[in-house]
Structure 1
Amino acid sequence: MTSTPIQSRRRLPSLGRGRRTAGALAVLGLVVAAGCSSDGPTSSAEAAPTSTADAREYDFSAVEPIVEAFLAEHDLEGAGLVVVEKDDGIVSEQYFGEFDADRVSLVASASKMVTAGVLARLADQDLLDLDQPIAEYVDWAAGHNPEITVAQLLSGSSGLVGLLPTPAYGPYLCQFLPTAELEVCAATAWATPEDDGAIVPPDTEFRYGGVQWQIAGAVAESVSGKTWSQLLEETYIAPCGVESLGYNNHWTQLGAGGFGYPAGFDGDVGVLAPTENPHMEGGLYIQPADYAQLLLMQLRDGRCGDTQVLEPESVERMQTDRIGEVFGGETMTGTGYGFGWWVDRDDSDRITDAGAYGTVPWLDLDGGFGAYLVLEAEAELGMSLAAELYEPVEDAVTAAR
């Protein structure tokens, strides 16, 4: 199957203000987590080159049997895979089983890279210094945790309690409540006494996820004077045309209290109640090709089309292993971590932003390509399938060149 760049897909309105080893896969599945179809893959019939005059041909047929066998083995409903190349744009869209280009999926922790980009843009606009204490920007931050910065919040090194090992840490439960308000939740969590033994000094330990992301989002709203949905519109939706993108806080809605994909969500964002407390680290919903456009922006030094959304230096900072550089830290899988990106510390030059539901975006920074894999399952399955796809996707991109 020869795939060419795809552009067409149905748009939906935005809602709300919101190569690893096998052993590492199992651990990472736990970290991002705190029906089989015989139908073949589908792709859009409207294909057109997006960049180079002499379009290269990409053959991703080797991907099909891998994905089909994986779906059959694990009795999964379907999958989507969109591949991007820095110069040629979207070079392949493949959909399997019940999935198609119009499907809107909740992506859980694959939200983090997107959220971090909003904060990075505010820094580009000189509305925020990521390395200054947030107490300089919001009144409610005075008196507690005086040294914590947004850079520490986004890199899991703030010292605040993370999503793991205590996702149900009492003072931070507001992060999962759609009836809460973002700034109130952030201020409440921030005021947790430092002497309760749960908080450690910043830049001493990596702690994945948690309310630190809600705090970052609240700072973003405060310094900009805009709601999260307005910031999304200005950062991504208008310049990148990703109109299916939105945030909600679904974790206690539709029976979604755990880390399994919520059975009550079939892609209709209208079933989610509007919220003023969008979940910053895990509330994103989006169509596959729209997420792929955001990956392209990361590959293209912050540009969407002719618009410079993020400065190249900000993109590089997001993708850099901050915890390794600043305090020699590492994650529980031995990788590094930037702003929402897991950073491999081997020769692959790969970064990922995997989610609890099996969504895995990845970029090969040295190779200038990436992909967005979406399942509606669980983290370990997504990472396992992605590990099988890294090589055939790279081989197809390399062959086209």
Structure 2
Amino acid sequence: MIRDQETQSLLEEGVRRFVSEVLVPAENEVAETDEIPQQIRDQMKELGLFGLALPEQYGGLGLTMEEEARIAMELGRTSPAFRSYIGTNNGIGSSGIVIDGTPEQKEQYLPRLASGDLIGSFALTEPEAGSDAGSLRTTAVRDGDHYIINGTKRFITNAPHAGIFTVMARSNPDIKGASGISAFIVEAGTPGLTIGKRDKKMGQKGAHTSDVIFENCRIPASQLIGGKEGVGFKTAMKVLDKGRLHISAVAIGAAKRMLSDALSFAKDRKQFGHPLVDFQLIQGMLADSKTEIYAAECMLLDAASRRDNGESVSALASCVKYFATEMCCRVADRAVQIHGGSGYVSEYAIERFYRDVRLFRLYEGTSQIQQIIIAKDLIKEGNI
């Protein structure tokens, strides 16, 4: 749902210009140093990018899902690290508080998340509980007016920078499934909370992940999201529904960038006395990429609009995430092929994008998990 087309167009144009003029020129520096320059972080704060999706009453822009998706597609046209740094504040790092937090929790944390003065992080995945989130082992034992948390979280985005963590932990050891899980807000610096070393990843330099370890980490009971035990898994799933649409938008934006780069290369590069675009096999790869990008974008905007209208879109979000991220990797592969040997060297951005976008098929639920969600919904609801 677009609330005001003129305002939305101006916002998209501003983000597009920021991406083209500031972020794209800094891609190589980020890839080489594994850091986002501080001046770019400051510019992101000035532009309000940390609060795009947060409610206006807390200092955010309050974008609808469709509006957010359109902005995320623009941000997807550059290194994923930039989007990742602001992404947790707009998505998984704040959504649990926005959706299910108490009024006091919202007042305490959302304004600082919206301004970028506080970085949020979502701590769900564990060494032995990734796709099967219901089997997590981190515990939160009630002790008077506090909870004591023990456990390890793995691959946690923005953990080295986070000021708060939304932590999923088992508050009722007698319930083995999802119903025993609760969600908590844990502030960085709390005794018993430590951050592991940064993970060395295949790609996405500048986007930092690490373990988050809890050893008798004692937090006030008031940090229980929503003040209610046993609903943390439901909170996590609602957070992931939104996050999957957001990641789909980023994947589509990345696919557009890769196709644009491949098209430019194919126009300039000559073989047998002709530009590559004159050859029909090259044209076929370009056409397939354009078609799949168009299909993914249509799926995304439809699902986002449905969510804005209050419909349950869990299965549709999985459809979009599954198709868009798989599509993005197919486009990446074609773009490398169009570049030929040049696509395998770091002189061209496609070599980096090829590695960066591979992660899209893993986080926010692997492609195989999306298939299971889609199939189960189809079997249960019968909606074709």
Settle same-fold status: TM greater than 0.5.
Answer: no
**Bigger helix fraction:** 2
| TM-score, normalisation: structure 1 | 0.27
